[in-house]
Each structure stands twice: as C-alpha cells, then as structure tokens.
Structure 1
Amino acid sequence: MKLSLIVAPYDSGRRHEGFGKGPDALLSGGLVEMLTMNGHDIEVEEIGKIKGLDDREIATGFAVCKAVAEKVAESEAKDRFPVVLSGNCLTTCGAVAGEKADSIIWFDQHGDINTPETSAHGFLDGMALATALGLCWRPMANTIPGFQPVDPAKCMLVDARDLDPDEKALLEKLPVIRAEVSEAAEKVAALREAGVRRTHLHIDLDVHDPDELQVNRYAEAGGPQPDAVREAAACMARSAPIVGLTISAYDPAFDAKGEVPPVVGRLMVDFLAAMERI
C-alpha cells in the first residue's frame, strides 16, 4: 500500500517537546523500516515550524490542524493512505477535515469531550473530540480547510475510562457510541446503520493498560493490552470504511526501554494488512 506518514511533532503549541517528541521517536524506532519490510511504499511528510505565533497553544494547535488537513488532502490526491503521527489529539481535526471524513472511531482512555465551559484545567487537548464534533471552538475549527463537524451519532468512543464528571454527563445526552476494546468490532454495526461513508480512526496510545505499555504521564490504571488494541484496530479496518489513521500522545520520556515503537509498528502492519484484504 502507498502511505503518507504525516509527522506533526507538537505538544500544546510547542514543537519537539513532550508529546511532540513522540512522532520522531516512532520513526527512529524503526517504523518506516518495519512498514517497508512488509511491502508498503512510504512517503514521510513533516509539519514544519509554525511561524509568527510564539508557541501560543490555541493558535498554534489549530494552525497545525490546518497544515495537516492540507497534507492529508495532498496525500489522497496522490492515492496515498494518510497516517498522521501527532503529539496532540487535537491534530486529528485536521486529518478528519483533509479526508472529508463523516465519522470517527476514537480510541482513548480519556473522553477528550470537555469544552471551555466544562474543563477544570483548560487543557485544549481535553477538548479535541468535542471540537471534532462541533461542540466547541467552532470559529477556530472553521479555519481548517474542509472542516465539517462530525455528527455525534457517527462517533464511537472506545475504552474511555478516565472521564470528568461533566464529560460523563454530556456523554449521557449525546448519541455517541460507547464501547470497550473487546466489543468495538461488533459495535461498528451501529456506525454502518448511521450511514457512514468515510471514517477516521484515532488511536491515542494511552488507551493501553500502563502496566503493559507506559506511553505518557497521564496513563491511568486499567485498559486493554497491546494485543487487544492491535486486534481491534484490524477489526476496524475490516468492518468500517476507514480513510485515515492518527496515532497520538506518545511521550518517549516515559518509555525508557523503547517498548512503544515496535508495538505501534506491529499495530500498523496488522491494520494495513486487514485493509488490503478488503
């Protein structure tokens, strides 16, 4: 398969800091070599320094989304499947826009569905899914080329186990499909019934059980093992009309043994093999 690996090395408006070091660590950990050995044609595109914004989190975050949307659209025009390696989850809004996706499958231990009115910490990335669903930051999201909010009924949130009280209350009101990793494949049927045509798969790596795979400082106890996440991602490829993939939130400072890159490589190999069998 022809792939574009789009590298967005930003964390909270800062380039190559914190989670922003994750994409390069995945590449230096052998991701391109593993994919190439499995027969894939890889093109790597990096989002460069966003100039003139002085690392302002909100402005830079949405500028990165804009740049990613443009790269994703270019990849599709070249008949390349877009894979975004990002620091922040918000970057997925750019991928969704560039792909013209009308649905999202969101693997994450967090809900990322706070808004400025409900967030106790003001953490922009904790509003990433809410932004993609059009629940907040609409003027900024509208600066992303091609952005259209996704209908919450066409969103599946997988293994979100660390939710703020306001997120829990909101999710009780919204038609977002909730699933554990073990049941995600069977619940894809609800997305198909909603008439989805183009689905973006987002995998925040802290969905994993930190006792099995520590990916960042936010990881909480519980969650699935890497084999279960890999199998679920492959099931998504076989069951949903996936048009793009984002992998986010890896901070190599919390991975002293370098265990995460090979896990991501195996996940992508199995996911892409499942896509090629469709």
Structure 2
Amino acid sequence: MTRSVRIIGAPMDHGANRRGVDMGPSAIRYAGLADALERAGVEPTDEGDLWVPRAEERDPDADRTDAKFILEVEDVCIRLADRVAETLEEGATPLVLGGDHSVAIGTIGGASRGVDLGVLWFDAHADINTPETSPSGNVHGMPLAAVLGHGPFADLPWAYAPNVRESAIAYVGLRSLDDHERDLLRERDLTAFTMSDIDQRGITAVVEDALEVVTDGTDGVHVSLDLDWLDPKEAPGVGTPVRGGVTYREAHSALETVSAYDDSSNVLRSMDVVEVNPIVDQHNETATLASELTASAFGDRIL
C-alpha cells in the first residue's frame, strides 16, 4: 500500500531570533517537494498553511514571561497538534514545514496523542532551554524542554507531551550548546550524539544507534530536521548557522538510514523540517536541500 503524506505548512517565526523563516514552507514547496516525494514512492497531499499572526502586529512581551511571543506560539501549536493528530487518525503521515523549531511542540504534541513516541532530533542545537535558562528568550531554543515538561512547561498542557520519555529521545549532530543544556545532557536520561561522534564513528553507525534508542519501547518515531544541522557551506539559508556541521552526503546518508529502518519496521510516524530562511539563502539552495533530504527520509534512493 502506497504511503500517504500530508504536507502541513506552519509559517511561524515568533520563536526565532531572526525574521524570515516564516517563508520557509513556501521556499521548500517551490524547490519541488511534492515531485521529490512522488519520486520517493509516496502520495503527497498539500494541506496548505496554518494561519499565523504577523509578528509586527504582536507584542513579544505581552504575556510578561521570559519566553517571547509565547501566546502566539501556544495558539499555533495547539492548532498544529490538532491537524497532526487528525492526519494520523485518517491514516496519513504528517509532514510539517516550518517555520522556526518551536513548531515541533505542536507536531510532537499531536503525534504523541495516545502513543509512546520516540524523537530523533537532527540539529546543531539541543533546544532544551526553559524560559528561566534561555539566554535569548526565543522559544525555538525550548521545544524539547516544552514537550518534556521542564520548568514552567509542566503546567502548560498545550506544550507538555507526557507520552514522550527522555530515554526515547536521541540527538544527532550536536555542536552548539548553552551551559545549562550541557549540564542537563550530562545529568539526564537523554542520548546525545555530537559531531565528534560522527567524526569518529561515521554517520550511518551513529544514526543506527540513535534509531535503536528512539524505537525502544515506543509505538513510532518523530523525526525533526533542522537545516542548521548541516554545515553552513551546504545550507546557508538557516536561522542560526553554526560552522562544522554535516556534509551534503552525510545528511542524505542519515535520512536514507532512517528510511531503511522504516522500511523494515514502519516506525516513521511524523516529521518536521524547520528553520529554512530564504532571506539569507543563496539561489534557494537550502530549501532545495530540505526537499531532497525529506524525500530521502521517505524512501528516495540513487538506485
């Protein structure tokens, strides 16, 4: 049976520190996402974009917390979670196009309803700050803290996803951590593979180990792909670039490894692709790469 994939745009940049990622969904579509998914052997349906309020019309500190635009993030993530859950109930796989990484709160919230969900996080950053520990107050640095219920997120049912366990989360490719995040990853039951692990062991071995973690005792896996995971030479159009990321071929190999694992065990429950910023991109190459990598996750191969 051919897999049905529903594309859901979440053009939000309220969680970011740089404008422009709200145009990411359009850029990825323009780069040929639907055609790439069809070549991968799935049936894509584009559900369009969620409505997102304009940042210029809102006050980032209106709620008087240390998390900027938290009211807007809440509104979008509640609606996104409902859309993701409805997609799964109807037998399709949700593919969410961000926007900044705060949209993952909504994607994971919807994908984890009624099931134990593993989370595979391809990112340069750990994104596990809370409003109290964040140096910037930007929510795109907090989504995993939110779904795990850290700090004040424990009292926010729209953010906290109780069916996601720390032990079922695996990072791949970390290379930029705040001090609090570094301490947390050392102390808690989270699996973190850094760029040093990839350098020493190779991308395929690392991703295979990460998949073993996120599938242990879970009913499915959410894959979150932040394009700043790649080196800026490969993906210049991102919200928060960090030198020293994975290469073009390493990235494809990683997502192909996910797809091969999914072929054998049908674990891929949902996916989001985030932080593509066309304003700072070059000839839409980051959006094109996002489209290609997504297709690799869903089965596209050289042969």
Q: TM-score, normalised by structure 2?
A: 0.81
CA distance in 2, matches of 1:191, 1:37: 27
Select 1:3's aligned residue among 2, 5, 8: 5
- 1:186 corresponds to which letter in structure 2? D
Aligned length, in residue pairs: 270
Kindly indicate whether residue 214 of structure 2 is the aligned counterpart of residue 191 of structure 1.
Answer: yes
Aligned-residue CA RMSD (Å): 2.4
Select 1:89's aligned residue among 71, 94, 101: 101
Select 1:214's aligned residue among 233, 236, 240: 236
In structure 2, runs of 5+ residues without a counterpart are: 61-68
Instruction: Pick closer, same or farther for the CA change 1:37–1:186 going to 2, 3 Å.
Output: closer
Matched residue SS, 2:270: strand
Tell me the CA shift for residue 200 of structure 1. 0.6
CA distance in 1, matches of 2:42, 2:212: 29
The answer (yes or no) to whether the contact 2:123–2:228 under 8 Å persists in 1 is yes
Tell me the CA shift for residue 242 of structure 1. 1.8
CA distance in 2, matches of 1:11, 1:140: 24
C-alpha offsets along residues 166-217 of structure 1, whole Å, 9 cap, x if unaligned? 110111101111114511223322334x412221110111000112221324
C-alpha offsets along residues 142-163 of structure 1, whole Å, 9 cap, x if unaligned? 136x943521111001111100
The answer (yes or no) to whether the contact 2:170–2:213 under 8 Å persists in 1 is no
Q: TM-score, normalised by structure 1?
A: 0.88
Matched residue SS, 1:159: strand
- 1:271 corresponds to which letter in structure 2? A
CA distance in 2, matches of 1:139, 1:50: 26
Q: Which residue of 2 aligns with 1:174?
A: 188
- 2:223 corresponds to which letter in structure 1? L
Tell me the CA shift for residue 237 of structure 1. 3.1
Tell me the CA shift for residue 119 of structure 1. 1.3
Instruction: Pick closer, same or farther for the CA change 1:27–1:233 going to 2, 3 Å.
Output: same
Tell me the CA shift for residue 73 of structure 1. 1.4
CA distance in 2, matches of 1:47, 1:38: 26
Kindly indicate whether residue 126 of structure 2 is the aligned counterpart of residue 111 of structure 1.
Answer: yes
Tell me the CA shift for residue 64 of structure 1. 1.0
Matched residue SS, 1:246: strand
- 1:272 corresponds to which letter in structure 2? F
In structure 1, runs of 5+ residues without a counterpart are: none
Tell me the CA shift for residue 257 of structure 1. 1.7
Identity rate of aligned residues, in percent?
26
Instruction: Pick closer, same or farther for the CA change 1:118–1:189 going to 2, 3 Å.
Output: same
Q: Which residue of 1 aligns with 2:176?
A: 162
CA distance in 2, matches of 1:212, 1:4: 27
C-alpha offsets along residues 247-278 of structure 1, whole Å, 9 cap, x if unaligned? 00110112122112322222122211179xxx
Q: Which residue of 2 aligns with 1:200?
A: 222
CA distance in 2, matches of 1:218, 1:140: 29
- 2:58 corresponds to which letter in structure 1? D
Kindly indicate whether residue 66 of structure 2 is the aligned counterpart of residue 54 of structure 1.
Answer: no
- 1:168 corresponds to which letter in structure 2? R
CA distance in 2, matches of 1:198, 1:65: 20
Instruction: Pick closer, same or farther for the CA change 1:156–1:272 going to 2, 3 Å.
Output: same
Which residues of 2 match residues 125-274 of structure 1 at below 5 A?
A: 125-138=140-153, 141-143=156-158, 147-148=161-162, 150-180=164-194, 182=203, 183-192=206-215, 194-239=216-261, 241-273=267-299
Instruction: Pick closer, same or farther for the CA change 1:200–1:206 going to 2, 3 Å.
Output: same
The answer (yes or no) to whether the contact 2:4–2:93 under 8 Å persists in 1 is yes
The answer (yes or no) to whether the contact 2:127–2:141 under 8 Å persists in 1 is yes
The answer (yes or no) to whether the contact 2:15–2:102 under 8 Å persists in 1 is no
The answer (yes or no) to whether the contact 2:232–2:241 under 8 Å persists in 1 is yes
Instruction: Pick closer, same or farther for the CA change 1:274–1:155 going to 2, 3 Å.
Output: farther
- 1:87 corresponds to which letter in structure 2? G
Instruction: Pick closer, same or farther for the CA change 1:118–1:48 going to 2, 3 Å.
Output: same
